[in-house]
Chain A
C-alpha cells in the first residue's frame, strides 16, 4: 500500500469519527445524556462558586429542615446545606471516577493492544492475568485496601481501576487482533513502518470507539462502587459524598425521606446518563442492519381475490412477487413469477445466484427469511387453494404435504441434537407416532436413503458424519412424512463430485417410488438433463423460458438459456452429466 493510500485511510477514519459525533448529538438520547453528563462535570468543576454554602458548615437551625428559600433542598441531620453537599459530592464522585478510568486505561489498553498485536507468549500470559483478575473477589480486595488506607480514596479508586482493567484489556486486545490480521498492516510493515508507528497510526484509531463506549460504562460502574463504599462508611468524614449522604438518608428514611431521595436521584441520573451515552454510541458505531419489515404478516396473503378454484396440479402459483425491506424502501427481487407442476412431475428451476429461484421456492414453503415478504394472485398445493389460509394453517402443510431438502447439508442439521432425535421429533409431534414407532420409521428411512450403519448414525451428532451422509439424512427427513410435493434447493451443489451423482440418483428413485412431484432448484444444466421433465429458466427475478427438457437442450429459445447451458458444459462436474447432456442433445438432433 502506498503512503498516499495509507494517509487517505487515516483521513477517512477521522472524518468518520467527526460524523459519528454529529450523528450522536442529533439523536435525542445522545443529546440529553451528553447534556446531563456535561452539566455534572460543569457543576463539579465550578463547585466552589456554585455551592451556596460551605458543605461542612453546620447551622443547627437547619437540622433536617424542609426545603426553603435559603436552603433550596433543606438541611441534613447535622444542619448542613444539602444542595451544597450535593454539588461538592459531584466533585468527589467525578474525581474518583476519573482516577478509576485513568488507571484502568493505563493498565488495560497498552496490555490489550500489545497482546492482540504481537500475540504469542505475551498474549497468553496477559490473558491469563486478565482472567485471574476477574476471578479475584473484588469487593474483598477493595475493603482490604480501604481498611489499610482508611482515608485514601484515591488509592481505593485506583484499585477499582485495576479491577476494571480486564474489560479494557479484552476489547482492545480483540480489536487489535482484528486489525492486525488486515492485509494493509502487512503492507505497512513491508513498506518499512516500525511496529510502534503502525500501532499508533492504524491500531489505536480502531480501538478508539470501543474504548470510549467502555469508558462510559466503566465510569458508571466506578461511581456505583464508589457510592457503595461510601455507603458502608469508607471515606473521609469532612469530604461530602453522595454515597455517605445516601447512608445517612437510609438511616433516617422513615422520618425524613427527602434525605435519601436527593443523593439517590443525582447518583441514579448520572449513572443512567453515562449508560445511555455508551449505548447510543455503541449503536452508532455498530454496522447497521437492515430493518425488518413490519408488513410481513399482511403481505403474505393473496393480492387478488382468486376464486376458490381447484387444480389438479401438485403446486401452482400465479404472479408471485417477493420483496425485501431495506433502508431505502422495499426492493422487489421476484417480479411476478407463475408456474405449475403436475403430480409426479420433476420441474427444474434454473438460474444464476440472485435470479430469484430460491426465493420462489421459499415463498411456496412460506419460509422466507426475516425481512422478506411475498404476494401472489393465487397459490394451490396438492390442488387445494392456499391463499386465504393463515400462516398457522400453512405451517401444517410442511412435513405432511410438502417436503424440503436444503442446499448445504452441514448447516441444515441442528448441531446440538443427535441425528436420531432430529428424525424422531417431527414423527412424534407432527405424525403422532409413539416413540418406538417413530424410531423404527426413522431407522427404516435412513436405511432407505442408503445409510449403511444406521445405529451409529442415529446416535451421531451432525459433526460426526460426512457431508454426503448428512444430505442423505436430510432427504430422509424430507420424505418421512410421505409428502406429495418435494422441494429441493440445490441438493447436490455442496457435495463432492462422486457423491452428487449418487444423491441425484437417490432423489430420482424416491420420486418415482413415492410418486412425488419434485421441484428442483439448481444452477446446473447437467442436473437438469439428468432428472428433470420440464425446466423453468429464471433471470433477475423473472422467468425467461419454460419448456420441456429435450426442447430446451435441443433448441433453447433465449440467448441467456444458451449461455447457461454452455457454462454448465464448461464446468460440468461429472463425466456422466456431460454424457447425459450429449445424449439429450443427440436424441433431439
Chain B
C-alpha cells in the first residue's frame, strides 16, 4: 500500500513538474512582453523598463523559472503582477466559489447519471432508453455555456426561480448560496450527466448478462438487491468519467462563470490572461494539476474498493 501511494505520488510530481515547465515557457513564449499588457500602450519605455526590472523580466528565462520553482516548492507562488497581492491568497479567495459550483455539479451528475444509466441499462431499447440516447447525443455536444444561456433566459429571467447572476457565500445565507450555484451547476452537469449515464448504461447491460447475476436472482434476492450488485460491478467506467469531469470543470468553467458573474477561478484565469499576469496563471495551473493528482488518487482507491481484484496487495 505504501509502495502504491509512493508510486502515485511520484507520478503526480512528475506530471506537476512537466505541466508547470510547459505552462511557464508557453506563457512566456506567448506573452513576449508582459509590460505592454500590464502598463497599457501609453506607458513610456522607461516606465516599462522599470517594471521589467522589478518583475525580474530582465533575467534569463531559465533563471526566472528557477526563482519561481524554488519558492513554489514551499507553497509560495509569488505575487500577482497586476496588484502585487500574493497569488496563493488570490486563489484561496476564488477557489471556494468554483469548488462549490463544481462539487454541486458533480453531485447532480452522479445522482441523475446513475439513475438514468441504471434505468436505461436495465431496460435496453425501451422507450426511456431511446429517449435518453436521443437527448444525450445533443446534450453532450452542446457547450456548457450555451446551455447556461438557455437556463438563464428560462429559469432566471422568465420564471425568476433563481438569480441570474451573482454569488452568495454560505455564511451570508445557506439558501441563497444554494440558489446562486444551482443554475451554473446544472448547466455544467447536463452535459456530464449524459456521458455518465451512457457509460453506466453500457456497463449495466454487460454486467446484467453475466452468470453471477442469474445466480444472485436464483437465490431469491429482490430485483432491488440484485441491482445493487449490478451497479457496483458496472460503476468503474462511469466513476472514471465523473473524476475526469470534476477536474476539467475546475479550470474549464470559465465561460459559465462569466455568464453568471461568479467570482471564481475561471474569472481569475480570464482577467489574468488578458493582462498577461503570468504568476497567477501559473498558480492556477499548479492548483488544478494538484487536483488532478488528488482526484485520480481517490479514484484509484475507489476503484480498488469496487473491484477487489485490482486492489493493491
List A residues at the B interface (Cβ < 8 Å): 132, 134-141, 143-149, 217, 220-221, 224-225, 227-228, 231-232, 246, 250, 253-254, 257, 260, 264, 267-268, 271-272, 274-276, 278-279, 291-292, 365, 367, 369-370, 395-396, 398-400, 402-404, 406-408, 411-417, 422, 425-426, 429-430, 461, 463, 474, 477-478, 481
Chain B residues with CB under 8 Å of A474's CB are 215
Chain B residues with CB under 8 Å of A413's CB are 212, 215
- B61 within 8 A of partner (CB): no
The residue in chain B whose Cβ has the minimal distance to the Cβ of A279 is B137
Which of B29-37, B89-97, B181-189 makes up part of the contact surface?
B29-37
Chain B residues with CB under 8 Å of A147's CB are 30-31, 37, 273-276
What is the distance, in angstroms, from A71's C-beta to the closest C-beta of chain B?
23
Q: How many A-B residue pairs have CB under 8 A?
A: 214
- B246 within 8 A of partner (CB): no
Q: Is the CB of A426 within 8 A of B30?
A: no
- B284 within 8 A of partner (CB): yes
- Inter-chain CA distance A84–B274, complex, in Å, is 30
Chain B residues with CB under 8 Å of A138's CB are 248, 251-252
Q: Is the CB of A228 within 8 A of B255?
A: yes
- B229 within 8 A of partner (CB): yes
Q: Is the CB of B229 within 8 A of A416?
A: yes
Q: Is the CB of A429 within 8 A of B252?
A: no
Our pick among B145, B214, B221, B222 for the contact of A228 (Cβ within 8 Å) is: B145
Indicate with 1 or 0, residue by residue over B217-251, a CB within 8 angstroms of chain A CB atoms. 11111110100010011000000000010011011
The residue in chain B whose Cβ has the minimal distance to the Cβ of A155 is B30
CB contact under 8 A between A231 and B218, given known A148-B31, A416-B307: no
Indicate with 1 or 0, residue by residue over B252-289, a CB within 8 angstroms of chain A CB atoms. 10110011000000100110011110000100110011
- Inter-chain CA distance A406–B32, complex, in Å, is 70
Which of B2-10, B18-26, B63-71, B167-175 makes up part of the contact surface?
B18-26
CB contact under 8 A between A430 and B221, given known A145-B26, A148-B276: yes
The residue in chain B whose Cβ has the minimal distance to the Cβ of A404 is B218
- List 20 A-B pairs, Cβ < 8 Å: A136-B19, A136-B23, A137-B285, A149-B30, A232-B254, A253-B157, A254-B157, A264-B146, A271-B141, A272-B142, A278-B137, A367-B217, A396-B220, A398-B218, A400-B220, A412-B212, A416-B232, A417-B232, A429-B221, A463-B308
Which of B40-48, B76-84, B104-112, B203-211 makes up part of the contact surface?
B203-211
Chain B residues with CB under 8 Å of A264's CB are 146, 149-150
Q: Is the CB of A477 within 8 A of B143?
A: no
CB contact under 8 A between A144 and B27, given known A137-B284, A426-B219, A430-B220: yes
Besides A370-B209, A414-B216, 4 new A-B residue pairs in contact (Cβ under 8 A), listed by A number: A147-B31, A246-B149, A412-B211, A417-B229
List B residues at the A interface (Cβ < 8 Å): 15, 18-19, 22-23, 26-27, 29-32, 37, 124-125, 133, 137-138, 140-143, 145-146, 149-150, 152-153, 157, 208-212, 214-223, 225, 229, 232-233, 244, 247-248, 250-252, 254-255, 258-259, 266, 269-270, 273-276, 281, 284-285, 288-289, 292, 306-309
Q: Is the CB of A221 within 8 A of B145?
A: no
Chain B residues with CB under 8 Å of A408's CB are 211
Q: Is the CB of A398 within 8 A of B217?
A: yes
CB contact under 8 A between A139 and B254, given known A145-B26, A147-B273, A149-B30: yes
Candidate in A135, A227, A395, A399 with the most chain B CB atoms within 10 angstroms: A135
CB contact under 8 A between A135 and B146, given known A416-B307, A429-B225: no
CB contact under 8 A between A398 and B219, given known A147-B274, A415-B233: yes
- Inter-chain CA distance A481–B212, complex, in Å, is 18
Q: Is the CB of A271 within 8 A of B212?
A: no
Chain A residues with CB under 8 Å of B307's CB are 415-416
Q: Is the CB of B141 within 8 A of A275?
A: yes
Q: Is the CB of A228 within 8 A of B143?
A: yes
- Inter-chain CA distance A227–B147, complex, in Å, is 13
Chain B residues with CB under 8 Å of A224's CB are 141-143, 145-146
Candidate in B26, B32, B124, B275 with the most chain A CB atoms within 10 angstroms: B26
Our pick among B221, B244, B247 for the contact of A426 (Cβ within 8 Å) is: B221
Q: Is the CB of A276 within 8 A of B273?
A: no
CB contact under 8 A between A141 and B252, given known A231-B145, A414-B233: no
- Inter-chain CA distance A370–B204, complex, in Å, is 13
Q: Is the CB of B251 within 8 A of A140?
A: yes
Q: Is the CB of B30 within 8 A of A267?
A: no
The 6 closest A-B pairs by CB, nearest first: A399-B220, A148-B30, A224-B143, A275-B141, A143-B273, A404-B218
Chain B residues with CB under 8 Å of A461's CB are 308-309
- Inter-chain CA distance A217–B157, complex, in Å, is 31
What is the distance, in angstroms, from A145's C-beta to the closest C-beta of chain B?
5
What is the distance, in angstroms, from B61's C-beta to the closest C-beta of chain A?
14
Chain A residues with CB under 8 Å of B18's CB are 132
Chain A residues with CB under 8 Å of B32's CB are 148
Q: Is the CB of B219 within 8 A of A414?
A: no
- Inter-chain CA distance A474–B209, complex, in Å, is 19
What is the distance, in angstroms, from A340's C-beta to the closest C-beta of chain B?
22
Our pick among A145, A272, A416, A463 for the contact of B30 (Cβ within 8 Å) is: A145
- Inter-chain CA distance A42–B273, complex, in Å, is 36
- Inter-chain CA distance A148–B141, complex, in Å, is 29
- Inter-chain CA distance A275–B214, complex, in Å, is 37
Q: Is the CB of B211 within 8 A of A406?
A: yes
- Inter-chain CA distance A384–B281, complex, in Å, is 75
CB contact under 8 A between A411 and B141, given known A260-B149, A365-B218: no
Candidate in B149, B153, B229 with the most chain A CB atoms within 10 angstroms: B149
Q: Is the CB of A416 within 8 A of B145?
A: no
What is the distance, in angstroms, from A358's C-beta to the closest C-beta of chain B?
11
Chain A residues with CB under 8 Å of B274's CB are 143, 147
What is the distance, in angstroms, from B219's C-beta to the closest C-beta of chain A?
4
Q: Is the CB of A268 within 8 A of B142?
A: yes
Q: Is the CB of B137 within 8 A of A399?
A: no
Q: Is the CB of A398 within 8 A of B37?
A: no
Q: Is the CB of A140 within 8 A of B285?
A: yes
- Inter-chain CA distance A571–B250, complex, in Å, is 63
Chain B residues with CB under 8 Å of A132's CB are 15, 18-19
CB contact under 8 A between A140 and B221, given known A147-B276, A276-B138, A461-B309: no
What is the distance, in angstroms, from A37's C-beta to the closest C-beta of chain B?
12
